[in-house]
Structure 1
């Protein structure tokens, strides 16, 4: 960490207009890397230099960048703020590359100005906007694990009662990370759905565990429809 700080100081001593960094924190352990990321961002903002950084660590890019460019096979697929890249990916590659995501292939069943319906193997998505597509066209739906809720009982609001944006499955695996838990819910087709739940309480009644049956459900604005 000290070596990286010295190297950065030497680079900034000549007051460059552009600073190029190639995985500058790759050799540091996780905790030190997180501390140095914040320190590095603060220094760069204070000095006022433009910085272009190459990294394969998606979390590092999200933490440090004001704009991100996603590249694949020499082509830039999307450029935008971290929140834009994460929440509104332009392609399947971008959605899958940044963060965890559930990608489901399906066909466009309805497409109106205020909504569209996507038929997938295990469920139907009701999305709160149209996509200007043609019925029957192949599309993909991306849903982030943290946008999905888990419950032991079937959800009861309007969309869910109509059979949209919900799926029943069995908890096949779970990973406890302290502040949150990731559940792998097996759907009837055998497909796995990843769900991330914040652990806001120290002890929860009727907590889901291996083999538990559960309902996954999400809102009509949680999905992103991808056509490429």
Structure 2
């Protein structure tokens, strides 16, 4: 795919926020505690107990859950750009069902693409795994089983920035900085989502953080295409 020829109106930008499935290690049943202990023993080594390490469980789909999915899509009418944001939040199964409906009803054409930062290693597989866990049929745009890499309709801004260098990892915060894009990390960062969700019970704060990431991802793709960045006046939120 030639990036310069990509119609950005065909792209759905997205970001997810995840937390451990339960508030603490002690809330897991005995079997799940043992499975968590085994899963993380090589990462933890002797530095952390399984309980102390549990706040990081949100990065594994087997032990975490999605608390919100934010999406953004650009429309162009009469030369006026409008980037619309929408966030699905609440009970995880409902989030996934609603997101699946959005894909099936509005972003299911062959030319539609999903775009996230590090999405190929995190967002896309995490969503797919949680859908399977909840016995939700995978939308065609998320079902990568049996497909060749070039057949999967996913864009990843981190992968695009690599330019073929697969050893290279660049965070969203760093990439926005070097490209002159306003940082989305002006309140909380990913490592703080657990505390904000389980201690502060402030889902709206997490949603705003997630939506800022979506805008940043879209801005990165615009910069890579050497197009003008979005202005605040061109961004709006679509209520659920």
Normalising TM by the smaller chain, what interval? under 0.3
Task: State the TM-score, normalizing by the size of structure 2.
Answer: 0.20
Larger relative helix fraction? 2
Question: Which one has more relative contact order, counting CA pairs under 8 Å at least 6 apart?
Answer: 2
Larger relative strand fraction? 1
Task: State the TM-score, normalizing by the size of structure 1.
Answer: 0.20
